[in-house]
Chain A
Amino acid sequence: MHVWIKPAGVWIALLALLAATIGAAHAELGALSIALNLLIAGICIGLIGILFMNLARSSVLIRLAAASGLFWLLFLFVMTAGDYLSR
């Protein structure tokens, strides 16, 4: 039974966040609304990654592997932003 209980908390949290993000999208908050949507998406990903995918209890090596994709993606985004924002 214990394999169900802890994940269930995360599950409920995820569904609550889903409701929250839809609410945020409809509230006319302008840019803040977009920021909230993205922030909540980030939290959901964090919950799934860290708790469901067990990064919380993985070795340093595995955490590094998980982080490397995001880190390298930054190069793509930041360097190209340098082009588009200064054109």
Chain B
Amino acid sequence: MTDITLDRLPHVEAASLSYLTEGHTLGSWLLTTDHKRIGVLYALTITFFFFIAGAAISVVRLELVHPHGLFITDEEYNRLFTLHGVIMVWFFLVPSIPTTFGNFLLPLMIGAKDVAFPRLNLMSWYIFVAAGLVTLYALIAGGVDTGWTFYTPLSTFYANGNVIAAAAGVFIAGFSSIATGINFIATTHMLRAPGMTWTRLPLFVWAIYATSVVMVLATPVLAMSLLLIVAERWLGMPIFDPANGGDPLLFQHMFWFYSHPAVYIMILPAMGVASEVLACFARRRVFGYVAMIISLMTIAVIGFMVWGHHMFVAGQSPYANLIFSFLSFIVAVPSAIKVFNWTATLYKGSITLKAPLLYVMSFIGLFTIGGLTGLFLASVPLDIHLHATYFVVAHFHFIMVGGTVSAFFAALHFWWPKITGRMYPDAWARIGAMTTFLGFMVTFLPQFVMGYDGMPRRYHVYPEQFQPYHVISTIGAVILAVAYTLPLFYLTWSLRYGKIAGDNPWHATGLEWKTSSPPPKENFEHTPVVTEEAYFYELEGVEDNGS
């Protein structure tokens, strides 16, 4: 079998060689240490959480059609948006791309057999599932009404609900994040194939690496802030309690020290995906490869020093406001550079508008809008007005949903043939991509307007003047819901009926495409040796043809 390439084999035999067929029992999945299978386990888990949190916000969105609500109480409303926030942030967005595609692709992309610590990797999935179940229990049985931010003293003394269990769940999820981060950092440093130098690494690997650094160093501070909340609420240990001279702002500092970098945990991998997909479908090297790496790392580091822009009206010193505002503008520079580089990657390329590229274009568009509105919120006087209004809601949904989720779908469509060995119907996927973009814009653009007009977030009942915007937003949400459910159908369909993909359906560079689809358990028959730079597409080195 050494001389025959896999796609020439009848597919039954080809399939028998892959990681998917290494065992068919449930045990062979639940006890696997194969990074690819763990990636798939994560994918299933976070999809579950995505739809749970999506269902919660659907109710909220529908409720907001009427200024006085339609069918739920204030308390239920508060619990639903808290559930949406907590689950989406910690059980979908933070783990989304790193744990699924990071797990699946990182060893493949650097030519390794597996991640550095495979058993730790499996353990981190179990921790994640356990954390998810604890949190879900807390949010559904009894509920939590603090918002995902757990601000004290509301969360410690006044909120009724399962704050302790919810905080414990998120705390446990932190271990999973940290374990994954450690694994990825060690893998990237120690297990690169011969010739895979740092300047030949695909940008996705760089992005996952930068993300892992943030995960490992930011998550523990969140863990500590939650632990202190629990100690205060449960054991009565005063830390933030203003009655004893404690400072609620201290909690906010600790919370945002994690939760701002968490946005970079969400968006950096998305940036990596965008670079991979753009290069492939433009048939060109990513424009400014080195600049892309520098900006990734700059964002990861400076991203740690901007959290105070969440606290401009919190009672923070006005001078600290200025410093945080300044650094927030600085961290926007590398983000802008990345957008320019992606755009320039298309320049003089040879572009095919396949579904993954459409998703990436949607990512770039939405991320650009999200990034630019970030400048508004980095400006102190504007943020004073906009803070805690729908403008902020729209801004971070553009980044975290428009950006990260679009990129997640791009990755799903780009690597689907590699993961499953099957092609999906591209026409349906393109419809999906365009519907997502449309639905997203309809949902969230009106929120910028009503936010500036003064519509506060987390409001169950609201002044009537905002109703038209809410109605448009809800219509958009319906479109968005359809767009997000659509892939569920055609991708599932493709598992059985899709065309056999072959090793490299996109003719992409990158080591993951040099092995079979789906890859064998050990990834590569022989350890690959890398001799060329990343994204060495055919148009590189082709001289100008004079036109």
Q: Do chains A and B touch in the complex (CB under 8 A)?
A: yes
Cβ of B384 to closest chain A Cβ, rounded Å: 16
Known: A76-B257, A83-B320. 19 other contacts (CB 8 A): A69-B217, A72-B217, A72-B304, A75-B305, A79-B305, A79-B307, A79-B308, A79-B323, A82-B317, A82-B319, A82-B323, A83-B249, A83-B253, A83-B308, A83-B317, A86-B317, A86-B320, A87-B317, A87-B320
How many residues belonging to B are interface residues under a CB distance threshold of 8 Å?
17
A69–B178 Cα gap in the complex (Å)?
13
Which residue of the partner chain, among B221, B317, B323, contacts A76 with CB atoms under 8 Å?
Answer: B221
Instruction: Give the residues in chain B near A83, CB-CB below 8 Å.
Output: 249, 253, 308, 316-317, 320
Question: B304 near A75 (CB under 8 angstroms)?
Answer: yes
Residues from 293 to 337 in B contacting A, C-beta threshold 8 Å: 304-305, 307-308, 316-317, 319-320, 323-324
Contacts of B304 in A (CB 8 A): 72, 75
Interface residue ranges of A32-87 to B (CB < 8 Å): 61, 68-69, 72, 75-76, 79-80, 82-84, 86-87
- Residues of chain B within 8 A (CB-CB) of A84 are 317
A84 to B317, CA, bound (A): 7
Q: Are B320 and A82 in contact (CB under 8 A)?
A: yes
8 A–B contact pairs at CB < 8 A? A72-B217, A75-B304, A79-B307, A79-B320, A79-B323, A83-B249, A86-B319, A87-B320
Closest to B303 in A: A75
Q: How far is the CA of A9 from the CA of B189 in the complex (A)?
A: 35
Residues of B within 8 Å of A69, CB to CB, are 217
Secondary structure type dominating chain A contacts: helix
Collect the chain A residues with CB atoms within 8 Å of residue B189's CB: 61
* A79–B301 CA distance with the chains assembled, in angstroms: 14
Q: Kindly report which residue of chain A lies nearest to residue B311, judged by CB atoms.
A: A83
Across-interface contacts of B317 in A (CB, < 8 A): 82-84, 86-87
A33 to chain B, nearest CB (A): 24
Compute how far the CA of A76 lies from the CA of B189 in the bound complex, rounded to whole angstroms: 27
Q: How far is the CB of B150 from chain A (nearest CB, A)?
A: 18
A73 to B323, alpha carbons, bound, how many Å? 18
- Docked complex Cα distance between A60 and B308 (Å): 33
On chain B, the residues within 8 Å of A80 by CB distance are 253
Complex formed: what's the CA distance from A83 to B249 in Å? 10
- How far in angstroms is the closest Cβ of chain B from A27? 29
| Leading 4 A-B pairs by shortest Cβ distance | A83-B320, A86-B319, A87-B317, A86-B317
Q: How far is the CB of A76 from chain B (nearest CB, A)?
A: 6
